[in-house]
Amino acid sequence: MSWDEAFAAHYDEWSADMTEDIPFYVDLALAADGPLVELAVGSGRVAIPVARATGRPVIGLDTSPAMLARARSAGEAAGVTLDLRETDMRDLALAEPAALVYCPYRALLHLPTWADRRQTFERVAASLRPGGRFAWNAFAFDHHVAARLDGEHRDEPVPHSLHYDVPDNRVDIRLDDGGTSSLWWATKNEWLGLLDVAGLALDALYGDFALRPLTSDSREYVFVASRR
């Protein structure tokens, strides 16, 4: 996974505009009868509202000690229970099968290869109870957007630049103060293929968090799948 700990200092600023996904994941959690698990829990941006709405603990995995420290502090301040674990999502293992595993904010795109994603999807499938659900979102690559943003410097939400490596399906985010992060995009059919090899069934695929259908104009994949 690609993540520079220096990025953690700006994560709350970086993610401040992302709010529309929270009700989506909260609704899934409210409908889940059993353990809740968030992959790449970060600062607890989604896990805390989920724990507050459900009144249940959320198991949160992340490889970043700095982000886990932020989540721990934020969870304590919010008065919710987060079971935070410094664990790679590719190594997901639970003592009790989950009713819901979710991965918000395009975090699956930090996995660089299809094999990494396959391992993660297989671990998720093995960690779900029958009928348990797996939800995530990812951007739909748009070459027009990439051509416009490649190499451009932007001041919002924090000063940064984006650099696209199209043959590698990768975009590098470089903060002015040195923090970096990389994302590897995937097509709809690649995501569907991962579900198939992991033994998961597609329940829904939306084009945004308002649950509108996926169309040629959609720039976000919002997936919900379940264990067969």
Give tens-digit pLDDT for 157-188.
Answer: 999 999 999 999 999 999 998 889 999 999 99
The three-class DSSP label of residue 17 is: coil
As a whole number, the mean pLDDT across the chain is: 96
Answer whether residue 1 shows pLDDT above 60.
no
pTM of the model: 0.96
List pLDDT tens digits, range 66-116.
999 999 999 999 999 999 999 999 999 999 999 999 999 999 999 999 999
List pLDDT tens digits, range 5-27.
888 889 999 999 999 999 999 99
List the domains of the chain with CATH numbers.
5-140+186-227 (3.40.50.150)
Q: Which residues of 83-96 are buried (b: 16+ CB within 10 A; e: fewer)?
A: bbeebbbbebeeee
